[in-house]
Amino acid sequence: MKKKSYLYCPFFIFLLIFSSCAYQTDQPTNLELLSSIENAFIEIAEQSKPAIVSIVSGNSRRRLNRFGSGFIFRQDGYILTNDHIVHGAKYIGVGLLDGTKLDANLVGTDINTDIAVLKVDRDQGFPTLPLADSEKVRVGQFAIAIGNPFQLDYTVTTGVVSGKRRSVLGGLTFIRYQNFIQTDAWINTGSSGGPLLNIYGEVIGINALIRKVENTPAPMRAGAGFAISSNLVKTIGNQLIANGKIIRGYLGIKMAEVPQGIRIDEVVFGAPADRAGLEWHDIIVEYNGKKVQKSLEFRLLIAESQVGKESVIKVLRRGQERTFNVTIAEMPPEMAGLPFEDESVSWKMLGLAVRKLEKGDSQRYTYLTEKDHGVIVERVKENAPGSNAKIPRGALILAINGKEISDVQTLEALLQAERDALELTFDIKSSHGTEKLTVHLQK
């Protein structure tokens, strides 16, 4: 056996040397590899720039005090950007790569996710950037940020995805829904609203903020960058286009993460959780069959639930597993960080803020159909006649004293005519079904 072994060994070594040499000659050099990577970044930048815009906003064309970025994601001129760039602005302007300046209309904005949608118009269609599936983003993959830091248009920076599902802001008076992608690609003032891209030129997120390094000089904001995940951007963007605003589900609890799940630290009186029988110190372990452990993910599940839909919540109560059916309500405007002013007759007389019934409501409120008519109750003031009569938020007012309500103007006119009445009979439709409620007016 030894003899046979030595006989074949020199030939085997020759094959190894030959195959190794042949393999090496087919491989690109280090310089060629670097050149290939460099060209890939250049191509992504060149292909993406036509769909990326600069944004200016302020009180007027002459009083511009905010600058940022955005990108076109639909050929008919819809632009995604950050809420903090355009919130409250009376004028918004958009600049294209070719130098064209356009006036933009604000379609809708969501302070809770820092997402806004703008609309610009021209005769021909616009170039667009596609949205990637952010669930498929992997930590360590390349990330390319393009924006206008310090008004330096179309600045390109590269890095990697440093983390996923980040939640970084605390101490706010309103609820924020966060699902950030962390990156070390350089982001700075003015980069907000611009896209964070993968190597295919797809948007994996909207650049939103940076966590500043302590003791960094004032003009510099270098640090960890955070982008709003593309899946959240897509969901919010499409809702804003359809409805002009976001309707979120509401459970009515304060919570904390514990090893077993989500512990309830407080139940808001009269909220869906309270009505369903959930209690302080219950530990939520499942929501509609999905295990829950992170408060961020649980908040998003509640927020994205349909208003009026019955959800199944499984909890641990004193070590015993229990199941509750909870009808999700609409989040109160004050909890969404939205300002509220109402000088209407319905607010002053009943403590009810109402709005017109819109096309998308039948998709969001499970108890409504496209054939319904009336006005939606947007807000209910505590201890006011409407609240005392148990008219819930999200209810559809069909009629008052037998007279059909077709729009807000009809409601206001009817209430004005009934100012001296002692009580009013409402026909409403809500998650409790269709019913008549008597409202006793305060005199």
The answer on pLDDT for 431 being more than 90 is no
User: Are 169 and 97 within one domain?
Assistant: yes
Total domains in the fold of the chain: 4
pLDDT 10s digits, 23-35: 455 677 888 888 8
Q: Which two tokens stand for residue 301?
A: 């599940």
Identify the domain boundary among 269, 301, 330: 330
Domain that holds residue 23: 2-35
pLDDT at 6: 41
114 catalytic, yes or no? yes
pLDDT 10s digits, 310-342: 999 999 999 899 999 999 988 877 666 565 667
CA-atom Rg of the chain in angstroms:
28
Query: Residues of 411-441 as b/e, b for ≥16 C-beta within 10 angstroms?
Result: bbebbeebeeeeebebbbbbbeeeeebebee
Identify the domain boundary among 246, 278, 300: 246
265 catalytic, yes or no? no
| Other CB atoms within 10 Å distance of the CB of residue 95 | 17
**Which residue among 83, 114, 184, 361 is the active-site one?**
114
pTM: 0.66
103 catalytic, yes or no? no
Residue 354 lies in a domain: yes
- Residue 226 vs residues 61, 167, 379: alpha-carbon distances, Å: 30, 10, 34
pLDDT at 16: 46
User: Are 26 and 44 within one domain?
Assistant: no
Question: Of the candidates 287, 280, 323, which has an alpha carbon nearest to the alpha carbon of residue 305?
Answer: 287
Residue 80 lies in a domain: yes
**Which residue among 84, 87, 167, 274 is the active-site one?**
84
User: Are 425 and 297 within one domain?
Assistant: no
What CATH number did the domain enclosing 299 receive? 2.30.42.10
CA 49 to chain centre: 24
Among the residues of 80-221, which ranges form H helices? 83-86
pLDDT 10s digits, 347-391: 999 999 898 887 777 766 778 888 888 999 988 887 889 888 889
**Which residue among 191, 192, 305, 387 is the active-site one?**
192
